[in-house]
Amino acid sequence: MIPNATIDLLSSPDTRPARSMTTVLVAEDDAMFRRILEVRLQDWKYEVISVLNGAEAFEAMQADNPPEMLLLDWMMPVINGVDLCRRIRTLNNAIYPYIVLLTGRDAKHDLVVGFDAGADDYLTKPFHADELRARLRAGARIVALQRELIGTREQMRFYATHDIVSGVWNRRAMVEFLTREVARGHRHREPLGVMMIDLDHFKAVNDTFGHATGDAVLQQVATRLVESVRAYDVVGRYGGEEFLIIMSNTSMDDLKSRAEKICEAVSETTVRSGDSDIRVTVSIGATVSRSGAELPEERLLHFADIALYRAKQKGRNRVEMCDSL
């Protein structure tokens, strides 16, 4: 005999287009009821993940991209729905999963137990398809709001650590990176390279072409710097027309070779802004801490700055090195 809950789900077909693309996990040990839920959810344009018991559901919630909404049967083998709610709430998921418990229990005490365990909503079997869809829509609104809040948070985090004009790391982030890399280099007895990079005659660019063009120059130079170093090297804007590059586990010769390639990469192609082609060059001062040397980050920056001053004094568009010891 088909349960009443199943009969209700099969009734009242809804042909209205659904807008949600939320992922829903269905944990239900009754094969027929689980399949009916799958079909209905897919008709409503949800992405569906189906599991047979609470243990499989808990494993799915520990994946890299776990489901955002869950339909959990109360009575399941291995881990029941209420215990599963409690376990899920101990996970540190980026998205708070919206949980709907499905059960034949309808006592007030059971409802309280379900909510105390971490459920967000509760449907008593038998229930109608329209009621289920309404509950899912409410959950989808919560999930959508979470996505928006997380997006805003990530945007704020980006603005807090990146330079808005050039798109690379900002000064504060670079100082933090350098502090960590100095400690790591000392701990692992690895040399650490630092480049201080200055755009030559940048004030003349702003004065001649305007600050909008100056910003375009900064953006394109930053792009060339990033493209000229290793994927795990760190590039940031240190201030004004100065950039800083941190290169872990590099020798003085390797650092000098990389710096010279950067000079070439910047100077060999003009920067296009509007109708203007602007030739840009950079001066670079670089230094390397000796393997395992306990050299404060302020001293590394000081030596790189000394080398940069030499590069400017010798005519710009060149690389100068400074031994850190």
Give me the domains of the chain, ranges plus CATH numbers.
Answer: 4-158 (3.40.50.2300), 171-321 (3.30.70.270)
How far apart CA 311 and CA 198 sit, in angstroms, is: 10
Q: What is the residue type of 219? A: Q
Report, in this order, helix, strand and coil percent for the chain, each rounded to 5. 50, 20, 30
**Contact assessment for residue 28 and residue 102, using Cβ atoms and an 8 Å cutoff:** yes
26 class by beta-carbon count within 10 Å (0-12 exposed, 13-18 middle, 19+ buried): buried
- Tell me the two tokens of residue 25: 């996990």
Q: What is the pLDDT of residue 97?
A: 93
Q: What is the pLDDT of residue 242?
A: 97
- Indicate the pTM of the whole model: 0.64
- Phi-psi label, residue 232: left if phi above 0, alpha if psi -120 to 50, beta otherwise: alpha
How far apart CA 116 and CA 197 sit, in angstroms, is: 58
For the annotated catalytic residues, the residue numbers are 241
Q: What is the pLDDT of residue 150?
A: 85
Q: What would you report as the CA-atom Rg of the chain, rounded to the nearest whole angstrom? A: 30
Cα–Cα distance list, 19 to 141, 164, 204 (Å): 11, 34, 53
Q: How many helices (H) and strands (E) does the chain have?
A: 11, 12
User: What residues form DSSP beta bridges with 51?
Assistant: 27
Q: What is the pLDDT of residue 288?
A: 93
Cis peptide before 126 (omega within 30 of 0): yes
Low-confidence ranges of the chain (pLDDT < 50): 1-20
Q: What is the pLDDT of residue 6?
A: 38
Return all residues near 181 (Cβ < 8 A) that are at least 6 apart.
Answer: 192, 234, 246, 248
**Contact assessment for residue 20 and residue 44, using Cβ atoms and an 8 Å cutoff:** yes
Q: What is the pLDDT of residue 293?
A: 61
Strand order in the sheet with 121-124: 47-51, 23-27, 69-73, 98-103, 121-124
How far apart CA 138 and CA 68 sit, in angstroms, is: 13
Give how far the C-alpha of residue 283 lies from the chain's centroid of Cα atoms, to the nearest Å.
Answer: 33
Strand order in the sheet with 242-248: 234-239, 242-248, 192-199, 282-289, 319-321
